[in-house]
Every structure is written in C-alpha cells, then in structure tokens.
C-alpha cells in the first residue's frame, strides 16, 4: 500500500521502534509500526513528525501495519497558538476516527486547514485561526455522520433569526421553549448566529463564539467524556505566556 499520509501521533514501542498513527485518504486512520525507528539520526522518528505530508509504503493486513518507507513531501511549520490548534486537530481525529476506513474528504480538509493555519500572519493568528478551526469541526461532524442542518430545526422548519435554539445531541436544533427547558438543555443559541453559520459567515465574534459552543456540545458525546489533552496544554501555555509578560 502506497499513499500520502500525515502523522497524528507517535509513541515508543519496545527498545528501538515506534508506533505511529497516520491519516491517509484511502484507509483513513492507520496504525503502523516503524521497526528500529528510534535508532540513529536517520531513523523514522526524524521523518514521522506532526504536520508533515509524507508518501508512505505500508505492508500487512492486521490492525498494525509495518512501515516500509516514508518520504517527506511537505512540512508545515506551526508555532505558538497555531501549534496547539494543530495538536487539537490531531487529537480530534485520533479520538473520533475508526481505523482502516477511507476518509478522502477528511484528509483533504485536514490538509487544507493545516495550510491555512501555517500561513496565518503570526500577529493575528490567535484571532484568525478560529474560523478555520470551527469550519473544520463542522465539516468533520458532517463527514462522520454526526452533522445536522444549521438552517432548520428538528421539525424541518426554517430557523427564525429572532428566536433562540438549543442543540439536542444526535438530533438537531430545537426551538427553546418549555419542553426543551424541562429536558435540561441549557445552552441556547441565537437564530441569527446559526443562520450566519449556515451561510458560512464567521466574521463576527458573537458568531464565532456560537460556533465554538455549538461544535463543542456536538462533539462532546462522541469523545467518550474524557477531556482533550491539547486543550489543557494550550491553557498551560497561555498561563506561562501571561506570566512572562507581567512586569
């Protein structure tokens, strides 16, 4: 098997080898063993880096394939906030994708999102990376079969910009009313913000906040209730940055 791949994660295995989780278009998430990958400067560890597009050759039919070769084609450099955004994308895919299921759309969207993050102006990266992340999350939900219309409610009625809605997980958006409140759904969203999302207009801070809250709620039930490590790492990095800037 020969195809392009991105590295989502690596970990040591035995004395000199690595286990890597790859994202490929034809086989989705693939687990591979790089035998002797930690041996010497030219081992696979030097090639199997996050955010690098590789051309890989794999062998085997089991849950873990054997990495025969990996040739780098492109490396995207992510720093600061963009690094943690990339780690967040990787962790999402590791947690949500099943192994050995073709994911050409997700692969293409992931590659495009990484490229957008890499080319953001560092001065405005914290602001400009938000639309890229929210668009990726929304498209990921659709690709995995967890998506829902953003311009109509669970009854099939068009959203009203003047009304408020909540998300019923795995069903869709519902008008906020007595029945929904009694069911315990606490997060509410402005209809106007949801319609902006449906039109892919993510320029206003309020719409971006709605998108963040909405996708987090939609993804929560599929992440197994465990917190994402990338979010905790980002918070620690932010705290360290704030300390460094204090007089």
We report the CATH number of the domain holding residue 39 as: 2.40.50.140
Alpha-carbon distance of 118 to 33, in angstroms, equals: 28
The mean pLDDT value of the chain amounts to 87
pLDDT in tens, 214-244: 999 999 889 887 888 888 887 777 676 555 5
> For residue 184, what pLDDT is reported?
44
Note whether 50 and 90 are within 8 A (CB): yes
The count of domains in the chain is: 2
Q: Do 214 and 229 fall within a single domain?
A: no
Q: Do 215 and 241 fall within a single domain?
A: no
> For residue 37, what pLDDT is reported?
63
pTM of the model: 0.88
Output the six-digit token pair for 170. Answer: 């795995």
Q: How confident is the model at residue 130 (pLDDT cuts 50, 70, 90)?
A: very high
Least confident of 33-47, 97-111, 159-173: 33-47
Let me know if residue 22 belongs to a domain: yes
Alpha-carbon distance of 244 to 236, in angstroms, equals: 12
Q: How confident is the model at residue 77 (pLDDT cuts 50, 70, 90)?
A: confident
More confident position, 209 or 44 = 209
- CA quadruple 176, 173, 209, 233: dihedral positive or negative? positive
pLDDT average, residue stretch 108-130: 89
> For residue 238, what pLDDT is reported?
67
The count of other CB atoms within 10 Å of the CB of residue 126 is: 14
Alpha-carbon distance of 247 to 243, in angstroms, equals: 9
Alpha-carbon distance of 185 to 179, in angstroms, equals: 10
More confident position, 61 or 151 = 151
Which ranges of 97-173 would DSSP assign to H, the alpha helix?
Answer: 104-118, 125-143
Residue-number span of the structural domain to which 213 is assigned: 164-220
Q: Do 115 and 195 fall within a single domain?
A: no
């Amino acid at each position: 098997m020969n195809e392009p791949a991105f590295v989502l994660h690596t970990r040591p295995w035995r004395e000199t080898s690595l286990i890597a989780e790859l994202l490929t278009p034809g086989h989705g998430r693939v687990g591979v063993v790089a035998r002797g990958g930690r041996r010497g400067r030219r081992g696979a560890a030097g090639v199997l880096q996050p955010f690098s597009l590789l051309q890989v050759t794999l062998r085997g039919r089991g849950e873990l394939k054997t990495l025969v070769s990996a040739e780098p084609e492109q490396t995207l450099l992510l720093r600061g906030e963009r690094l943690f955004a990339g780690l967040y994308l990787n962790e999402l895919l590791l947690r949500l994708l099943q192994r050995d299921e073709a994911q050409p759309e997700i692969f293409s969207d992931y590659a495009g999102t990484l490229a957008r993050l890499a080319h953001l102006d560092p001065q405005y990266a914290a602001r400009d990376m938000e639309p890229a992340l929210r668009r990726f999350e929304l498209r990921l939900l659709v690709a995995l079969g967890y998506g829902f219309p953003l311009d109509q409610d669970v009854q099939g009625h068009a959203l009203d910009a003047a009304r408020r809605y909540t998300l019923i997980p795995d069903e869709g958006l519902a008008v906020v009313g007595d029945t929904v409140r009694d069911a315990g759904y606490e997060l509410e969203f402005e209809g106007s913000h949801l319609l902006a999302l449906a039109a892919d207009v993510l320029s206003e801070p309020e719409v971006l906040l709605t998108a963040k809250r909405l996708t987090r709620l939609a993804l929560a039930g599929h992440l197994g209730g465990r917190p994402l490590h990338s979010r905790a790492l980002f918070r620690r990095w932010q705290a360290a940055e704030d300390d460094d800037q204090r007089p």
